[in-house]
Amino acid sequence: MNSYPWQQETVIQRTQLILSSFEHWLGHSLFENFAITDVKIDPIGVSKQLFEADFIVASHGTQSDPIFNYGNQKALDVWELTWDQFIQTPSRKTAEAIEQQERHRLLTQTTTNGFCYYSVIRITSTGKRFKINDGIVWNVIDHQQTYQGQAACFSKFHFLS
C-alpha cells in the first residue's frame, strides 16, 4: 500500500471524477474556482495537488447511508480524522442532529439540480462546531453520466464558540 492516499489508484480515479463532474456542472475547473492557475496535467500530479490543496474537498458514495470515499488533507484536518477513519465515516455524521433535515434538503436539491451553493453548520469528529460559507456541493458522475455520489468543497469557514 502507498504511504499517501493520493497515490492510490482508487483515489486517483475518484479525484478525476470529482474534478470532471465539477466542470460538467459548473462549467469551469474546481482549481479555477479557487484561483489556482498552475494545475498539473498528469493524473497522479492532479491527485496530489487536490489532496494538498488549501481548500476542503470531500465526497461520499451512493450507499443508502453514504460513506465518505474522499477527503483531502485539509478536510481530514478540519474534521480531525485520519484517512482510514474518514473513509469509514457516514457523511451524515458531519452534521448535528438538528442540522440533518437541512442536510437532507441540500443533498436532495443537489441530486435534482446537479449542484448547489450552501452555507451550513457542521461538526468535527470531536464535537467542534464550524460554519461553512459559500460552499458548493455537486453530483459526481462518471463518463457514462452514471451517478457516483456527491462531492463538496469550501474554503470559507470558522469555528463557533
The tens digit of pLDDT for each residue in 33-63 reads 999 999 998 999 999 999 999 999 999 999 9
**What are the distances in angstroms from CA 94 to CA 74, 123, 125?**
15, 5, 7
Per-position b or e across 134-155, b if 16+ CB within 10 A of its CB: ebbbbbbbeeeeeebbbbbbbb
Percent above pLDDT 70 for the chain:
98
pLDDT at position 76 is: 98
Pair type for strands 115-123 and 68-71 = unpaired
pLDDT at position 97 is: 86
Confidence of residue 98 (pLDDT cuts 50, 70, 90): confident
User: Which fold would CATH assign to domain 5-94+137-155?
Assistant: Beta-Lactamase (3.30.450)
pLDDT at residue 23 tops 90: yes
pTM of the model: 0.94
